[in-house]
Amino acid sequence: MDIQVVGVVGAGVMGIGVAQNLAQTGHQVILVDIADRILEKAKQEIAQNIRFQGFFNKSEKIENPSEILSRIKFTTDYQFLESAEFIIENTTEKWDIKKEVYAQLDAICPQETIFAANTSAIPITRIASVTERSPKVIGIHFMNPVPIKSMVEIISGYHTSQETIETVKKVLTQMGKEGILVNDSPGFVSNRVLMLTINEAVFLLQDRVASASDVDRIFKGCFGHKMGPLETADLIGLDTILFSIEVLYESFNDSKYRPCPLLKKMVDAGLYGRKSGQGFYAYK
Ligand code: NAD
């Protein structure tokens, strides 16, 4: 059975990308966030992203933004998620927030609905524990920007069923993506490595070993990476980086995950990276 109606919870950096991708691959999307102004901004960003895609990708026929947007219902009312066959959750990387979100989803959605958590570091088994449907809870760690990244990490929680894994693979294929299946662990594979790398790069900056652009140039020029760790941090969002490294620190009780004070200071100062217009670099 093809999944047609997908609930996307959280309309920030990732929720916007997931909703756009789903709508562009013909799905009906119910996009939920906590405030109308956030949803209005999401609508504008999706329209702009589609226009950019058309501009940079002239060989491919990109559908009109208004047709794609017509497949997305923007709402603050969770009750609409009752009709979703599949949920992709993309709320803030804070356990206190996600815990409440899953309790709400569990009460509203039919028992057969699968919950896919798009989290950076929170263990899927912990998320499943606050629901009554552990076999139907799984992780999909999407990469940013979602519509143009074709690979994701799929995370199997302790109780995730094979049937759930198969359905998720099907949904991902429908979205034009491929998944690499890994076992549950805080940060999974990608972010257990990436968050440490970014955090250490911020320490290098704090210790005045090199400028931000020189740190990034070393990774690009010497290792052939497309982006350096600090540019990547700006793309992800410094708040999300801090929350993720805090999850790793708390989960492993290992001091190697202690967040760099400069990272904390930048988040306190509202320097979140691209989404706020200023991070390690200035945007706009
Ligand atoms: P973000 O801060 O840009 O967006 C989070 C959104 O969640 C906000 O719009 C917020 O209003 C909304 N939200 C908060 N509480 C809510 C609730 N109760 N109900 C509905 N919506 C609520 O964060 P993001 O970067 O989009 O990250 C979302 C999730 O995806 C996080 O768990 C993050 O770790 C993960 N993730 C992020 C990236 C990345 O590159 N940014 C990559 C992969 C995964």
> Residue holding tokens 């939920």?
32
- C-alpha Rg value of the chain to the nearest Å: 19
The whole-number pLDDT of residue 61 equals: 74
What is the distance between the alpha carbons of residues 92 and 275, in angstroms, rounded to a whole number? 14
Residue 63 per-residue DSSP state: P
The whole-number pLDDT of residue 53 equals: 84
* 40 assigned to active site: no
* 191 assigned to active site: yes
Q: How many angstroms is it from 194 CA to the middle of ligand 1? A: 18
Taking only the tens of pLDDT, the chain with its 284 residues reads 689 999 999 999 999 999 999 999 999 999 999 999 999 999 999 999 999 887 777 667 778 899 999 999 999 999 999 999 999 999 999 999 999 999 999 999 999 999 999 999 999 999 999 999 999 999 999 999 999 999 999 999 999 999 999 999 999 999 999 999 999 999 999 999 999 999 999 999 999 999 999 999 999 999 999 999 999 999 999 999 999 999 999 999 999 999 999 999 999 999 999 999 999 999 97
Q: How many angstroms is it from 14 CA to the middle of ligand 1? A: 6
Ligand 1 contacts (CB < 6 A) are: 9-15, 32-34, 38, 90-93, 97, 101, 118-120, 141-142, 144, 236-237, 240, 244
**Burial grade of 116 (CB within 10 A; 0-12, 13-18, 19 or more):** buried
> For residue 171, what are its two tokens?
């949904």
**Which distant-in-sequence residues (6+ apart) come within 8 Å of 157 by Cβ?**
123, 124, 125, 127, 128, 134, 137, 138, 139, 184
The whole-number pLDDT of residue 52 equals: 87
Task: Name which residue sits closest to atom 39 of ligand 1, judged by CA.
Answer: 236
* 153 assigned to active site: yes
Q: Which residues pair with 179 in a beta bridge?
A: 152
> For residue 131, what are its two tokens?
């629901």
What is the distance between the alpha carbons of residues 143 and 152, in angstroms, rounded to a whole number? 6
**Which distant-in-sequence residues (6+ apart) come within 8 Å of 38 by Cβ?**
11, 12
> For residue 58, what are its two tokens?
């002239």
What is the distance between the alpha carbons of residues 149 and 163, in angstroms, rounded to a whole number? 25
Q: Going from the N-terminus, what domains does the chain have, and what CATH number goes with each?
A: 5-183 (3.40.50.720), 191-268 (1.10.1040.50)
**Which distant-in-sequence residues (6+ apart) come within 8 Å of 111 by Cβ?**
132, 133, 136
Q: Please write down the HEC assignment for all residues of 85-126.
A: CEEEECCCCCHHHHHHHHHHHHHHCCCCCEEEECCCCCCHHH
